[in-house]
Amino acid sequence: MRLTPAESDRLQLYLATLLARERRGRGLRLNVPEATALIAHAACEAARDGARVEDAVAAARCVLTAADVLPGVAHLLTELQVEAVFDDGTKLIVITYPIAADEDPHRAPGAVLAAAVPAPDHVDPVTVTVTNTGDVPISVSSHYHFFEANRALAFDRAAAYGTRLALPVGSVTVFAPGTPRTVTLTPLRGDRIVIGFAGLVDGPLDADGARERALHRAHTDGYLDTGSATAQEGHPA
């Protein structure tokens, strides 16, 4: 069976979850990787069952309390990010303070605390106009590689290559059916390696020929593109 890198990651998460459940069943308190696996798995399964983003986050926050983990784990694990597959596509879920600390009287299991998240740097921004050609709203999260966003979204894919929405971490933009919306995109930073999402890149963004191959794959797979004919007909190097 051939799996994409994203599918392999989900399988590894499931195996880690099984191990964490087994150890928890023996009465052991969990460490950071074990707690991370259980919480992330709960969010992913809620998404797979048709939950909304906020419901998936709530489900993940109900999995563990400080009594279930080793001392200090609840304070170490203050934010967890996981990509989950929802009915309308893959989205990044950001779960802040996923474990309730029993020693903190102001936090109970499942409590939601607001976290100050700085806005991203708007360096070399790209502006594109996006039209949802489908008949249901489409949500795209802040750190999704926008080039690979839902194929029913019509916009300049070439201009969006290697970028994400210029939003704070964990934010979501919703594109209503039939209504054009102009958004600002900012370049992905760090190592600029994109794995998963829609599988159009699955590797370094800036490798020789990567952009052309991704554009060709998007075009042949039916991703709507309002860019130039040359960009849409890009061919693998």
Alpha-carbon span 38 to 161, nearest angstrom: 33
- Which residues are CB-contacts of 147 (< 8 A; sequence separation ≥ 6)? 157, 160, 161, 162, 163, 200, 201, 214, 218
In this structure, what are the phi and psi dihedrals at residue 44, rounded to the nearest 5 degrees? -65, -40
Task: Tell me the C-alpha distance between 16 and 34, whole Å.
Answer: 7
Termini Cα distance of the chain? 28
Radius of gyration for the chain, computed over Cα atoms and rounded to the nearest angstrom: 19
pTM over 0.95: no
pLDDT digits (tens, 9 = 90+) for 4-40: 887 888 889 999 999 999 999 999 999 999 999 999 9
Structure confidence by residue, pLDDT tens digits, 47-96? 989 888 888 888 898 899 999 999 888 888 888 888 888 888 888 888 88
Instruction: Tell me the pLDDT tens digit for each residue of 115-153.
Output: 433 444 444 689 999 999 999 889 888 889 999 999 999
Of residues 100, 181, 75, 88, the one with CA closest to residue 136: 88
pLDDT for 101 equals: 57
Quote the pLDDT of residue 208: 94
